[in-house]
Chains A and B, each alone.
Chain A
Amino acid sequence: MMASPNGEVAGGRAGVEVRLEGLRRQYGSVVALDGFDLTMAPGELVALLGPSGCGKTTTLRLLAGLEDADGGRVVVGGDDITHVTANKRNMGMVFQAYSLFPHLTVQQNVAFGLRLRGVDKAEQQRRAIEMLELVGLSTQADRYSHQLSGGQQQRVALARALAINPQVLLLDEPLSALDAKVRAQLRDQIRRIQLEVGITTLFVTHDQEEALAIADRVGVMKDGRLEQLAPPTEVYARPATSFVAEFVGLTNRLDGDVRAGRVTVRGASLPLVDPATPDGRVIALVRPEAVTLAAHASEETGPLVGSVIAATFLGATTRITVDLGDATIMAQLGTAEAAAHPAGSRVSLAIREDPVLVAGASPAEAPGSGAAPSGE
């Protein structure tokens, strides 16, 4: 359990609601944020996900007060803080770049914010050690930043951000400079601490796996606007737009034909995410996990029969790419199952009846687009 500088128990403190209303930010002729709206519930962790230049870091910086909005409001805990300077906002922030003060020890870094608040020395020390214990670095208190690994530096930065008992925690791609293993460990640690402290947190990342793993809700951004804000499972399973479907996870783009609220894709009739989709030819976005081996694989030909041209080992699962003749399709199978179908072998596939999102017109109506796997 943690105590605030004035002795208040931080662990028991409920987070505050954060509202970003119609935020606008423009750099010259480039519109970074265009009427951005976001409401975060108290204690919630929202991850903003999107490609470079989509405005996610700008959003975080506007919330932190490090930049001024051209329009809109920032409301935290019911108070309009749009015009409050960064040093008066009481927000803890962890940066993408290592941001520990090189001339201070780990403990002095963590106590820095408390010192500025006039907390007495003994309390500063006690609180700093408490925060360092929280991130598992109390034994490194007397070291300097150059004596720590990247992961340790980011943990100290997290301790420093939390030491001031902030209203909101802002994480600006804090894991992007770390190697994969440390990244996964620190990601889990951040989530554990966030839940323990109960602080409202905005986490900005371009790594979909990170966002899906850590957040209560994921906001997928494009061109300064939110495309979808929903729990990770929903963003993945029921993407609101084709951009979300293609940005989050891998997607097969296959020709389809919509009739009466269902779409027929290579002979398989599938339900639609939006049953009100008008009839016509479309591109169906099908997840590789929805593509399975057919139960009766005796057929030699068919719309979903083809040759395995590549296999990517992912641990428990393996992703195979199958050439169907006029298109390629990816299927994510159990590794043992995939091992029975090495490259060059013929397979017969089926598509599971998961709701399917459709995008635009099919190649027949829009020459130039092709049926192919897409996404990261």
Chain B
Amino acid sequence: MASVITPADAMERGAVGRVARMPRGGIYGRRRRRLQVFRVIVLTLFAAFFIIPLYAMVAFSFQGSTPGTHTLSAWTSIISYPGLLGAIEITLELAVITSVVMLALLLPTMIWVRLRVPRLRRVIEFLCLLPLTIPAIVLVVGLAPIYRQIRIHISLSALMLFGVYVILALPYAYRSLASGLEAIDARTLAEAARSLGASWFTVIARVIVPNLWQAVLNATLLTVALVLGEFTIASLLLYTNMQVALYDISRASLNAGVLFATSSAALLFAFILLMILSYVGRRRERRRGAAA
């Protein structure tokens, strides 16, 4: 007959550790272990799904001319490949300009609507989410005449793409900022600041925006990611950004290593940016928590 050890018995025998483990045994313990195994399998599968292609891409960028050899030539030739460095520069500048313009337009508008004209909230939401439903080709057809005029009268530079990129980034930025605004009682904070003597500009700049820091970072990150990966519109409007340059390289050259090296570099850049933004967010949280 199996002996049953009660917690009291176990305590008497000094087997405190066993007492602590006891509730984990039996059917619940088995279920928990099975769940743990399931979690590990799912995570491993997902990790493999994402990591193997990335690993293959990075590994290929180091591939030498003969199998089994490795070289940095693809990475070093990024700099020397005609037009590629310029395209990367343009894309990075576009990312910065698009983020700044998007925030400058959207942030004050959303805060103002939330505080002063809440009845327009649904309208603004509809307008901001609209680009999600419009295919890129339709956007291009609509915007092509405008960009033709821009090319003739204003600039040839691909930096002019920021306008259409702001439109493309609107839905993502809107959702990020909207969830940030919903997380704070913006109206009460604004009224408290007003009663203390703050102008509307001060309310927005010194009370509301500092409390939307994480949402602003998220909106920026999504915008940057969108700009770094955008190909269709730039290509159809005959501008050359990084993605278009990569495509050109893949068509014009047999050196696929440069293509993979540049793609890896773009991905690395996005990762680094993500880490910087989340580090900044965490540091702010830590600083607030540390004051306890």
Contacts and interface: CB of A to CB of B under 8 A. Distances in A.
A160 B196 contact: yes
Nearest to B185: A97
A116 B189 contact: no
Interface stretch (B58-66, B81-89, B102-110, B197-205): B197-205
Given A97-B185, A101-B207, A103-B210, A143 B193 contact: no
A161 interface: yes
B19 to A, nearest CB: 36
Contact of B191 (A95, A101, A142): A95
Contacts of A170: 195
Interface string A84-128: 011111111101011111110100000011001100000000000
B195 A116 contact: no
Dominant secondary structure at the B interface:
helix
A113 B207 CA distance: 12
Interface string B268-292: 0000000000000000000010011
B196 A112 contact: yes
B194 interface: yes
A13 B185 CA distance: 34
Interface string B182-226: 001100110111111111001000010011010000000000000
A141 B189 CA distance: 20
Given A97-B185, A102-B184, A102-B211, A116 B192 contact: no
Contact of B291 (A112, A113, A143): A143
B211 to A, nearest CB: 5
Given A87-B199, A143-B291, A101 B194 contact: no
B202 A66 contact: no
A99 B194 contact: no
Contacts of B207: 101
A99 B188 contact: yes
A101 B202 CA distance: 13
A216 B195 CA distance: 24
Size band of the interface chain A makes with B: 35 or more
B185 A99 contact: yes
Nearest to B287: A144
Contacts of A164: 196-197
A143 to B, nearest CB: 6
A100 B185 CA distance: 10
B195 A93 contact: yes
Nearest to B183: A102
A235 interface: no
Given A113-B197, A142-B291, A147-B292, A66 B184 contact: no
Contacts of B211: 101-103
A101 B292 contact: no
B23 to A, nearest CB: 34
A2 interface: no
A64 B195 contact: yes
B139 to A, nearest CB: 38
A116 B191 contact: no
A89 B195 CA distance: 8
A90 B202 CA distance: 16
A117 B195 CA distance: 12
Contacts of B199: 87
Nearest to A85: B194
Contacts of B192: 93, 95, 99-101, 157, 160
B193 A66 contact: no
Contact of B193 (A64, A101, A146): A101
A153 to B, nearest CB: 12
A114 B210 CA distance: 19
A290 to B, nearest CB: 43
Given A105-B291, A142-B291, A147-B291, A93 B191 contact: yes
A295 to B, nearest CB: 56
B253 to A, nearest CB: 51
A41 B197 CA distance: 25
Contacts of B185: 97-99
Contacts of B196: 87, 92, 112-113, 116, 160-161, 164
25 contacts: A64-B191, A85-B194, A86-B195, A87-B199, A92-B195, A92-B196, A95-B188, A97-B185, A98-B185, A99-B189, A99-B191, A101-B192, A101-B210, A101-B211, A102-B184, A102-B211, A103-B213, A112-B196, A116-B196, A116-B198, A117-B197, A142-B291, A143-B291, A161-B196, A164-B197
Interface of A: 64-66, 85-93, 95, 97-103, 105, 112-113, 116-117, 142-144, 146-147, 157, 160-161, 164, 170
Which 3 pairs between the two chains have the least Cβ-Cβ distance?
Answer: A113-B196, A99-B192, A93-B195
Interface of B: 184-185, 188-189, 191-199, 202, 207, 210-211, 213, 288, 291-292
